A and B are shown apart, each in its own frame.
Chain A
Amino acid sequence: MDLTPNSFTLMRFTEWDNPETGHLEWLIRKDGCMHCADPGCLKACPSPGAIVQYSNGIVDFIHDNCIGCGYCIKGCPFNIPRISKVDHKAYKCTLCSDRVAVGQGPACQKACPTQAIVFGTKEEMKGWADFRIKDLKSRGFEHAGLYDPPGVGGTHVMYVLHHADRPSLYAGLPDNPSISAVVQVWKGVTKYLGMALMGASAVAGLVHYAVIGGNRVTEEDEENAERLRSRRVSGGEDARA
C-alpha cells in the first residue's frame, strides 16, 4: 500500500518488539502531507502558483497551474506528492483546504470516532499534545513527545509519538527531516550562478565585438588563395617536389 494520486492518506502500521519492556507494540501513524512550514515541494516547483501556502499553514496544490514535472517529489522530504498518469498533475493531501476555508475540520478528523485526529490552531494543538504526552509518560512511555520537526520549520500536521526519540520506528518516519542539500544547491546557488554565467557569456560576446570587432577576410587573403591555385595549375615550379 502506498499513497497514490487518488489516495492522499493511509495508515502505516509497524509491529515492534520493545526490547526494554518485552512488549509487542503497534505503532500506527497516518501518512500524508505534513504541511511543512518550509515546504520542499514549494521550493522545487517551477510553476508559479502551482503550489501555494496559505496563512493558516496549509500547503495546497493548484492543479490548473501544475505542469506535472515532478519537481515537488524531489523537493519533499516525506515522499508525499504523486503524479497522476491520467491528467499528469501532482496530488497530495490538501488538509481539506476547501472545508477549512468555510470553518469546518478536515474530513479525516470529522470521520475519526475516537478523536485520534484533532484539528485546531497550532497553539491549541500543541496544548492538546502536551496533555496527551503527559498521559503517555504517566503510563511509562518516558520518551513520549510531539513530532513537529524543526528541520522543515515545523509542520502543520503533527504526531504525538510514544517514542519521539526514534520517529523512524514508525514505518520510516524521518528522524530529522529537512529539504535535501542537493535540492537546496539545485534551487539556490545553481540558479543564481547559472544565470550569471549565461549572462556573462552573452555580455562577453557583446563587449568583445564592441572593443575588437569582426574578424574580416582581406583582399590580400583572397589574392593569396588565388595565387595558391594559380601556382599549382601553372605547374613548373612544384612546391612539393
Chain B
Amino acid sequence: MSAVEKVGSRGTAQSGDTVTDDFPIRVRRYGGLVRLNHWVTAVSLALLAISGMALFTPKLFFLTALFGGGQMTRMIHPWIGLVLVVSFFLLFVRFWRANLPTIADGVWLKKIIDVVSNRDETLPELGKYNAGQKFVFWSMSALIMVLVSTGVVIWDQYFSGFVSIELQRFAVLIHASVAVFAICVWIIHVYAAFWVKGTFGAMTKGVVTGGWAWRHHRLWLKQLVEQREAKDVASALPASADPSIPHSRSQA
C-alpha cells in the first residue's frame, strides 16, 4: 500500500491543493478558477439578498434604487438566481467530497464551546473543512435548491400561467422564509471568514500560511506534506533506477 493511498483514506485534499516551496511554508488551497467561481457565487448571493429584501417588505423597498428601480429589481432578481444556481452547482461538484462528514466532525461539534472561544488546542485534527464549514456547504446546497424551485413558481412574468394562485401563495411563503435562513447562514459564513484570521487569503490569493493550516486543518496539511514528499521522492529517484536506494523510502 502506498503512502498516498493510506493518507487519502483519512484526508480530504483536493486536486490542486499543495504545499509550496516558500519559507516559511505556505499552502495552496484554491486555484484561480475555483476562486472566480466562488466570487461569482458570492456576488450573486449578495445581490439576491439585497434585491430580495427590497421586495420583502415596503420598509426595505428603497433598496430597489440600487438596481435602477422597482421594475428592474423585479425583473433582474430571478435571473441572478439562475446565475447563482449554475455557479453554486459548479462549486458543489468541486467541493462535495471534501465536505462529507467524518468521526472527527462529531468530536469537534461536541467541543463547539471551545471552538467559539478560540481554544483550538483541545480540538481534533481536521481535514480540509470543519463541521461548521460543512454545515454552511450542505445547508446552502439545500436552501438554494428550495429557493430556485419556489422562485420559478413565483416568476410571474414567465410562469404565472402554469401554476395555480394557491400554489403561488405557498411558494412565495416558502421562498421568503428559506431566503431568511440562507441570509443567516451567509452572515455566519462571512463572519467566520472574518473571525478566523488568515482565512480571507484562501479566497483572495488562494493561499494560506502553513500555520493557519496547522491550526485549523492539520490532517489536510499533513496529507499535503506527505503527498509533496512522495512526489519529490518519485521525481528525484525514479522507482527502479537505482536498486541501492532502500526500498522502504519510496514506499513509506
Q: Which residues of A contact B (CB under 8 A)?
A: 45-48, 65-71, 73-74, 79, 83, 88, 180, 182-183, 185-186, 190-191, 193-195, 197-198, 201-202, 205, 208-209, 212-226, 228-229, 232-233, 235, 238, 240-241
Contacts of B75-133 to chain A: CB distance below 8 A: 75, 116-118, 120
Q: Are A217 and B212 neighbours in the complex by a CB distance under 8 Å?
A: yes
Contacts of B194-252 to chain A: CB distance below 8 A: 194-198, 209-215, 221-222, 225-226, 228-229, 232, 248-249, 252
- The docked-state distance in angstroms from the alpha carbon of A241 to that of B252 is 6
Known: A46-B58, A68-B156, A229-B19. 4 other contacts (CB 8 A): A197-B181, A198-B180, A212-B116, A225-B209
Residues of B within 8 A of A218 (CB): 211, 215
Q: Are B226 and A240 neighbours in the complex by a CB distance under 8 Å?
A: yes
Q: Are B177 and A190 neighbours in the complex by a CB distance under 8 Å?
A: yes
- The docked-state distance in angstroms from the alpha carbon of A67 to that of B56 is 13
Q: Are B156 and A226 neighbours in the complex by a CB distance under 8 Å?
A: no
Q: Are A74 and B169 neighbours in the complex by a CB distance under 8 Å?
A: yes
| B15 CB, nearest partner CB in chain A, Å | 21
- The docked-state distance in angstroms from the alpha carbon of A65 to that of B173 is 23
Q: Are A225 and B210 neighbours in the complex by a CB distance under 8 Å?
A: yes
For the A-B complex, the count of residue pairs with Cβ-Cβ distances under 8 Å equals 174
Q: Give which listed residue, B3, B156, B183, B222, contacts A228 with CB less than 8 A.
A: B222
Q: Are B25 and A215 neighbours in the complex by a CB distance under 8 Å?
A: no
Q: Are A47 and B70 neighbours in the complex by a CB distance under 8 Å?
A: yes
- The docked-state distance in angstroms from the alpha carbon of A167 to that of B236 is 89
Q: Are B173 and A226 neighbours in the complex by a CB distance under 8 Å?
A: no
| A194 CB, nearest partner CB in chain B, Å | 4
- The docked-state distance in angstroms from the alpha carbon of A216 to that of B214 is 12
- The 25 sampled A-B contact pairs (Cβ below 8 Å) are A48-B61, A67-B64, A67-B74, A69-B74, A74-B168, A83-B156, A88-B74, A180-B166, A182-B173, A197-B181, A198-B184, A201-B187, A205-B188, A205-B195, A208-B116, A214-B196, A215-B120, A217-B211, A217-B215, A224-B211, A225-B25, A225-B210, A226-B25, A228-B222, A241-B248
| A212 CB, nearest partner CB in chain B, Å | 6
Q: Are B180 and A212 neighbours in the complex by a CB distance under 8 Å?
A: no
Q: Which residues of B contact A (CB under 8 A)?
A: 3, 6, 19, 23-25, 54-58, 61, 64, 69-71, 73-75, 116-118, 120, 154, 156-157, 160, 165-166, 168-170, 172-173, 176-177, 180-181, 183-184, 187-188, 191, 194-198, 209-215, 221-222, 225-226, 228-229, 232, 248-249, 252
- The docked-state distance in angstroms from the alpha carbon of A224 to that of B209 is 12
Query: Dominant SS at the A interface?
Result: helix
Q: Are B19 and A71 neighbours in the complex by a CB distance under 8 Å?
A: no
Given contacts A73-B168, A79-B165, contact A216 B197 (CB under 8 A): yes
- Residue of chain B at shortest CB distance from A202: B187
User: Which of A67, A73, A185, A217 is the most central at the interface, judged by chain B CB atoms within 10 Å of its CB?
Assistant: A217
Q: Give which listed residue, A68, A191, A222, A235, contacts B211 with CB less than 8 A.
A: A222
- The docked-state distance in angstroms from the alpha carbon of A196 to that of B55 is 17
| B101 CB, nearest partner CB in chain A, Å | 22
- The docked-state distance in angstroms from the alpha carbon of A48 to that of B194 is 36
Residues of A within 8 A of B215 (CB): 217-218, 221
Given contacts A218-B211, A221-B211, contact A183 B225 (CB under 8 A): no
